[in-house]
């Protein structure tokens, strides 16, 4: 099941990636918000009718609107045509159109990585501080998703994922 909010998230991930490739200085806090959004969307999808899930979905919509606004501000710095390209994609997603196809696999191994991204999953022996992992993810321009207390998914360019895994490898010994 693909929700319009998932398509919006995918578009924002691709916009963020493209902005960074164009050397636009985007604050790392946006990476953190995008990472948390994916986790919240997956939380909501588990039971879309539960009252707690509906509250989470409202929060997701607020945060995604804030991130969208900030990223479109950065996109407008690259010209009206560039910005309109991304606005059009976001409009189509809001209408329920599939802009970027996603996998509906229920496998625990295969993740729903955004198109063009590499992914890695880490299974730790014991939980670690989210702040420590988030700092490494931000430094290497990675999107981070905590699936549970000991399972972490990383998304990003292949080289960045490798560098992030090397730095995170010290936690495997803890």
- At 69, the pLDDT band (50, 70, 90 cuts) reads very high
pLDDT tens-digit readout, 101-115:
775 544 444 445 556
Stronger pLDDT, 117 or 7, i.e. the higher one: 7
End-to-end CA, the chain: 37
Average pLDDT, the chain: 82
Q: 40-44, 64-68, 96-100, 106-110: lowest mean pLDDT where?
A: 106-110
Q: Give the residue from 26, 22, 7 showing the smallest Cα distance to 89.
A: 7
Give the start-to-end residue ranges of the domains of the chain. 1-102, 107-174
Handedness of CA 55, 40, 90, 80 (dihedral sign): positive
pLDDT tens-digit readout, 137-168:
888 888 888 877 778 888 888 888 888 888 88
**Helix, strand, coil shares of the chain as percentages rounded to 5?**
60, 10, 30
CATH T-level topology, domain 107-174 = Ribosomal Protein S8; Chain: A, domain 1 (3.30.1370)
What local confidence, expressed as pLDDT, does residue 27 receive? 92
* pTM reported for the whole predicted model: 0.60
């Amino acid at each position: 099941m693909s929700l319009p909010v998932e398509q919006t998230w995918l578009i924002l991930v691709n916009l963020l990636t493209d902005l960074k490739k164009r050397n636009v200085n985007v604050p790392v806090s946006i990476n953190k918000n995008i990472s948390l959004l994916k986790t919240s969307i997956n939380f909501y999808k588990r039971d879309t009718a539960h009252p707690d899930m509906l509250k989470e979905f409202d929060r997701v919509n607020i945060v995604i609107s804030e991130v969208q606004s900030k990223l479109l501000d950065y996109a407008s710095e690259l010209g009206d045509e560039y910005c309109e390209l991304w606005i059009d994609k976001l409009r189509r997603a809001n209408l329920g159109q599939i802009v970027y196809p996603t996998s509906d696999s229920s496998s625990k191994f295969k993740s729903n990585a955004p198109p063009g991204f590499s992914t890695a999953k880490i299974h730790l022996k014991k939980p670690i501080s989210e702040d420590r992992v988030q700092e490494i993810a931000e430094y290497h321009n990675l999107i981070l998703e905590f699936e549970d207390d000991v399972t972490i998914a990383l998304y990003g360019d292949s080289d960045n994922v490798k560098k992030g895994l090397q730095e995170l490898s010290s936690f495997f010994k803890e």
